[in-house]
Amino acid sequence: MSGSHLSKDFFGLVKSIGESKSKQEEDRIIRNEVATLKKTLSERVGGDKKKVDKKKLKEFLVRMMYVEMLGHDGSFGYIKAVELAAATSIIHKRTGYLTCGAVLSPDHEFRFMLINQLQRDLASSNILEVCAALAGVVRLITGDMVATVVNDVGKLLTHQSDLVRKKAIIALHRLHQLDQSNISAEDLTVKLRRVLCDRDPSVMGASLCVIEKMTLKNPLPFKDLVPSLVSILKQIIEHRLPSEFDYHRLPAPWLQMKLIRILAILGKGDKSSSEGMYAILADTIKRADTGINAGFAVVYEVVKCVTTIYPNPQLLDGAANAISRFMESNNHNLKYLGVTGLSRIVKEHPKYAAQHQMAVVECLGDPDETLQRKTLELLFEMCNPVNVEFIATKLLAFLKDTNDDFLRRQLTERIAIISERYAPTQSWYIGTIIALFAIPGAGDLVDPSIAQNLMALLAEGSGEDDADEDAAMRIAACATFLDLMDSPQMTPVLLQAMAWSLGEYAYLLEGTVELGEVCGKLCKLARWPVVDMTSRRYLVNAVFKLVAQLGTCPGSAAHLIDDFTLSRDPILQQSCCEFQNLITTSNHILPSVFPVDASCEDVGADESLSIMDTYVSSAVAAGANVYSPPSDSDSEDEGGSGGDRDSKKPVFNMTPYEKPPANPHQAIMANISSSGSGVSSGTGSTSGGEQGGLGGGDEVGRQSEVGLRLSGVANVWGPDMTVKKTEPIRQQQKVTQQQPKDEGITSVTKVQEVQQKVEVKDDPGPQPLTEKEKMAMALFGGISGGTERKGENGKEFHRPNGGRKVGKTKAPPVAAPEPRQNEKTGGAEGGGGGGGMDLLDMTFTSTSEAPVVAATTGGEGGGGTTQGTGGDLLLDPFGMGGGGDDYGKGPFKYNGIQVLPLDIDTAGFGGRWGGLKGTVKLAVPNLGKRGFEGVKEFAKVAGLKVVECIEATKECILAGGGGGGEIWLVHCKIGGGGGEVEMQVKTERVEEGEAFKVWAGRNWV
């Protein structure tokens, strides 16, 4: 085709654009063109409109499209596009609609001018006009215009021409997307089903597009379509469609892909639907494997589907095979599919990763950025406790290098997730998180709670009695922070963590660095103009602590405090004034106001403020008014005269006051203002803060109310600590982190050695390894089927008790129904003994409803984790008496029917747990075995399934189902030095739980 039918002007335009060599030149041409077009337009407006040549007008619009496409404003001609849509000639009309769709923004008023024309064309007898209008509907209709065309479009679904029907269903879906009140999902679904049965394959194909989108939103109404879709797919792969649909002799590959995608959505988590498609998927993957790209695309689609639907071992093997071939290919596009396919499959089935070690390592070093990124995603998916160090190092390195905000955000999130989930040691975790904080541009993206957790971890230590370990960890953290102090760029989150840690633990560095020097550096930082106010408060607070420890006030600190008494920030100003006062008037109490390493200590509180009694009574005697506490209630008029309150002793009542915003100064100010009597407070850590975390236990009864209220306040390091209950799952991971990791762990100097470690730690085996092989080993540790040399790595993770090796965590997760969960367990296990992994996340959910559960992550191993409720647990199991047949010896029966293991995974267990109303607690002896064997034996006898055991926290969950649909979910915790198992049983009705308890009492003593 040539341009011979075009005008000279247009020909000239295209030619000059085509020949232009630079953007500038192109811009100049377009500017000229704009001037020409405007001139033409004004001439035309001036001239006789009747004689406007539509052909000229069409060309005018195409030129205007060029103007717009090349980034210049063509709005002067928009009206002409609307005008041309009304042309009689179809090609002109279509050009008019096309231009309107390309140039009119969704809020442009000209769109309304087209409604009439669209309506007329939709009703036209010329199918080309109808098609043009349908294309216009898709591009031009906005939400408030849907009602005007929806009926016309609906009617076209039964039009005699397949061209029209095909477009009508798409247009109708578009209208549904825009406004569901005029065409609801149900309406559309009914119509879709009819169109799916259309005699024309391409109309059916169009309906598949819509079905795919609709199933993504809600698969339920389409579940029954599985057999139909399977039979359509069968017809396609058996070449029953006209050969016109073939692409390179593969029958309708895009239709195949679409069908498989829909099947994947419908089969996700649905065993019975999935079973209906296994056979066709196997057939499809076999037939598609013809060695051409389109075939590989179909194969890849099947791989995606197989990893999404309810798993089938044969299909998974087939998918893994296909992935292997992609990975081994030299073609980068196929390699890309291999890597993405692999990261899909390893999520649930890590065993398949093992054979691709070298290929993955190679992809990681590939110059192709896309492949690298996909490989990073793969690494994230296959992360486990053994390879986490290597993977985190890699991700950090990429994070440092990237400029892409999108990737940066993603990597930051992922590093935080894997280091929390799989950290092998605390020191490693701290080092990684600090490194993450320190990366410019990434530190700002970190969730602030991560910093809080880091500080909590430092403060609480491992929770074991290993003080050296804790000290070493703190020293390492402080040393890292000290090194970072001189770096030019600091993120607020880094500054805050640094200030707090140095304030608390800088004294541990005594010998390597003077406290005064640290103090001076902190002062300098606090004066930085770019530091934000929150960080400044942290910094000044750290200075206070150091001054208190030093015993003298260095000049720099004195100046700083002096200056900040005039700070514009009221909180900072106040704390500086208070400190100044303290240091000048009562220097001697400083050490008790700022105690060393006491952030975890409970601050003893005398709530009655009895020391004030003498003062108060003398004041009252002297005629002062008795204090009447304000009412708790919201309504003002009721306040002041709360009856029972009047009877209280005239003391300061802490309860009614609003909780002030928690911040680092809180505790200090509280301490200062009550120096002597102190304020009641929780330990301030998330663990156990709410329950049993209250001071020495001598404050009882009504004080618990006070304790709860204040539990958030005293979080020295935790502005957010109280807010987190909203996210139980994440919280659970956090708790894990705050908790101690391992007793027998590596030396702390590791923190800075993460990098080298990767290279070093795989000691040369029998034969020397290449660099890449080493990487592969680091990477594929912990993945079953991987190299067996992991033992060397493993020794770091040995736990003294039980003598379990990390090797155990490698136990092939394949067999388990939910391997992913399994892997997680591995994480906790490998992560180390003390870890407070709490299966059911009870720390937070249970505080209100089930205060008993051994969720307190605090002192595991130390007997009686569930302080305060231990008594309940020891209830005589026989006390319930009343034994029917169900309660006799032998397996646990309910209503005469034996209870059977319930097929449920951890996620399912967690999901059901909260919904079950009946709760019964009991304790059974662990039959002389300290590990899980006793519990497993118990489960076997009782007929319960062992859903998951977590070595780290000595927790285990069991599940069983009865004949009448009853279920028993049992959460066990091995306590009492291993000799006893505390159980919490959740059931629909409490009687079912009681029955279980009675049975256990009969059978397991």
- Window 107-166: residues binding other proteins (CB under 8 A): 127-128, 131, 135, 138, 163, 166
Single out the residue of 80, 165, 167, 356 in contact with other proteins (rule: CB under 8 A). Answer: 167
**Rule CB under 8 A: is residue 185 a binding residue for other proteins?**
no
Segment 303-322, which members bind other proteins (CB under 8 A)? Answer: 304
Single out the residue of 41, 52, 185, 209 in contact with other proteins (rule: CB under 8 A). Answer: 209
The least distance separating other proteins from the CB of residue 97, rounded to whole angstroms, comes to 9
Q: Which is nearer to other proteins, 27 or 727 (CB)?
A: 27
Q: Which is nearer to other proteins, 34 or 970 (CB)?
A: 34
Binding to other proteins by CB under 8 A, coded x per residue (else -) over 256-275, reads -x---x--------------
**Rule CB under 8 A: is residue 291 a binding residue for other proteins?**
no
Smallest CA-to-CA distance from 398 within 433, 451, 354, 436 is with 436
The least distance separating other proteins from the CB of residue 152, rounded to whole angstroms, comes to 17
Segment 13-52, which members bind other proteins (CB under 8 A)? Answer: 14, 17-18, 20-23, 26
Which phi and psi angles does 912 have, rounded to 5°? -75, -35
The least distance separating other proteins from the CB of residue 315, rounded to whole angstroms, comes to 18
Single out the residue of 76, 110, 254, 278 in contact with other proteins (rule: CB under 8 A). Answer: 254
Q: Which is nearer to other proteins, 112 or 254 (CB)?
A: 254
Q: Which stretch binds other proteins (CB under 8 A): 1-9, 314-322, 417-425, 828-836?
A: 1-9
Single out the residue of 296, 481, 538, 579 in contact with other proteins (rule: CB under 8 A). Answer: 296
Q: Which is nearer to other proteins, 89 or 848 (CB)?
A: 89
Distance from C-alpha of 734 to C-alpha of 726, rounded to nearest angstrom: 13
Segment 222-251, which members bind other proteins (CB under 8 A)? Answer: 244-245, 247
3-state helix, strand, coil split of the chain in percent (to 5) is 60, 5, 35
**Rule CB under 8 A: is residue 536 a binding residue for other proteins?**
no
The least distance separating other proteins from the CB of residue 164, rounded to whole angstroms, comes to 10
The least distance separating other proteins from the CB of residue 599, rounded to whole angstroms, comes to 42
**Rule CB under 8 A: is residue 849 a binding residue for other proteins?**
no
Single out the residue of 33, 40, 94, 192 in contact with other proteins (rule: CB under 8 A). Answer: 94
Q: Which is nearer to other proteins, 260 or 473 (CB)?
A: 260
Q: Which is nearer to other proteins, 324 or 565 (CB)?
A: 324
SS3 702: coil
**Rule CB under 8 A: is residue 889 a binding residue for other proteins?**
no
Q: Which is nearer to other proteins, 293 or 608 (CB)?
A: 293
Q: Which is nearer to other proteins, 329 or 355 (CB)?
A: 329
Distance from C-alpha of 754 to C-alpha of 313, rounded to nearest angstrom: 38
Please measure the distance between the N-terminal and C-terminal CA atoms of the chain and give it in whole angstroms: 93
**Rule CB under 8 A: is residue 6 a binding residue for other proteins?**
yes
- Using the structure block, give the residue that is written with the tokens 């020409």: 36
Q: Which is nearer to other proteins, 16 or 574 (CB)?
A: 16
The least distance separating other proteins from the CB of residue 192, rounded to whole angstroms, comes to 14
Q: Which stretch binds other proteins (CB under 8 A): 98-106, 312-320, 430-438, 735-743?
A: 98-106
Q: Which stretch binds other proteins (CB under 8 A): 200-208, 477-485, 498-506, 933-941?
A: 200-208
Would you give the distance in Å from CA 249 to the centre of its chain?
44
798, 802, 806, 808: CA torsion to nearest 10: 170
Single out the residue of 35, 147, 190, 216 in contact with other proteins (rule: CB under 8 A). Answer: 216
Distance from C-alpha of 857 to C-alpha of 456, rounded to nearest angstrom: 13
Distance from C-alpha of 545 to C-alpha of 889, rounded to nearest angstrom: 64
Single out the residue of 41, 52, 102, 708 in contact with other proteins (rule: CB under 8 A). Answer: 102
Q: Which is nearer to other proteins, 22 or 726 (CB)?
A: 22
Residue 946, CA atoms < 13 Å, CB-side half-sphere: 17
**Rule CB under 8 A: is residue 674 a binding residue for other proteins?**
no
Single out the residue of 179, 212, 283, 606 in contact with other proteins (rule: CB under 8 A). Answer: 212
For 670, counting Cβ atoms within 10 Å of its Cβ (0-12 exposed, 13-18 middle, 19+ buried), the class is: buried
Which phi and psi angles does 426 have, rounded to 5°? -65, -40
The least distance separating other proteins from the CB of residue 214, rounded to whole angstroms, comes to 12
Q: Angle 842-849/728-738 helices, nearest 10 degrees?
A: 110
Q: Which is nearer to other proteins, 368 or 483 (CB)?
A: 368
Q: Which is nearer to other proteins, 165 or 820 (CB)?
A: 165
The least distance separating other proteins from the CB of residue 85, rounded to whole angstroms, comes to 13
Q: Which stretch binds other proteins (CB under 8 A): 88-96, 560-568, 645-653, 709-717?
A: 88-96
Smallest CA-to-CA distance from 89 within 119, 115, 126 is with 126
Q: Which is nearer to other proteins, 37 or 423 (CB)?
A: 37
The least distance separating other proteins from the CB of residue 251, rounded to whole angstroms, comes to 11
User: What value, to the nearest 5°, has the Cα angle with vertex 272 and ends 269 and 278?
Assistant: 90
Q: Which is nearer to other proteins, 86 or 407 (CB)?
A: 407
Contact call for residues 389 and 428 (beta carbons, < 8 A): yes
Segment 324-383, which members bind other proteins (CB under 8 A)? Answer: 332-337, 340, 367-371, 373
- Using the structure block, give the residue that is written with the tokens 């370990």: 469
Single out the residue of 35, 69, 723, 760 in contact with other proteins (rule: CB under 8 A). Answer: 69
Distances (CA, A) of 740 to 21, 55, 212, 419, 978: 65, 79, 47, 14, 19
Single out the residue of 36, 148, 202, 704 in contact with other proteins (rule: CB under 8 A). Answer: 202
- Using the structure block, give the residue that is written with the tokens 């506490």: 629
Q: Angle 162-178/201-217 helices, nearest 10 degrees?
A: 10
Distance from C-alpha of 679 to C-alpha of 670, rounded to nearest angstrom: 7
**Rule CB under 8 A: is residue 60 a binding residue for other proteins?**
no
Smallest CA-to-CA distance from 912 within 946, 956, 963, 960 is with 960
**Rule CB under 8 A: is residue 62 a binding residue for other proteins?**
yes
Q: Which stretch binds other proteins (CB under 8 A): 11-19, 809-817, 853-861, 986-994?
A: 11-19
Binding residues with other proteins: total (CB under 8 A)? 83
Segment 387-406, which members bind other proteins (CB under 8 A)? Answer: 406
Q: Which stretch binds other proteins (CB under 8 A): 70-78, 545-553, 612-620, 888-896?
A: 70-78
DSSP 564-625: HTT-SSHHHHHHHHHHHHHHHH-GGGHHHHS-TT-TTSPPP--TT-GGGHHHHHHHHHTTPP
Single out the residue of 98, 229, 572, 721 in contact with other proteins (rule: CB under 8 A). Answer: 98
Distance from C-alpha of 54 to C-alpha of 81, rounded to nearest angstrom: 11
SS3 974: strand
The least distance separating other proteins from the CB of residue 373, rounded to whole angstroms, comes to 6
**In the structure, how many helices (H) and strands (E) does the chain have?**
47, 10
SS3 924: strand
The least distance separating other proteins from the CB of residue 175, rounded to whole angstroms, comes to 10
The least distance separating other proteins from the CB of residue 187, rounded to whole angstroms, comes to 18
**Rule CB under 8 A: is residue 690 a binding residue for other proteins?**
no
What are 711's two structure tokens? 């539990």
Three-state SS for 426-491 is: HHHHHHHHHHHHHCCCCHHHCCHHHHHHHHHHHHHCCCCCCHHHHHHHHHHHHHHHHHHCCCCCCC
Sign of the Cα pseudo-torsion (688, 690, 696, 697, in order): negative
For 756, counting Cβ atoms within 10 Å of its Cβ (0-12 exposed, 13-18 middle, 19+ buried), the class is: exposed
Distance from C-alpha of 804 to C-alpha of 949, rounded to nearest angstrom: 14
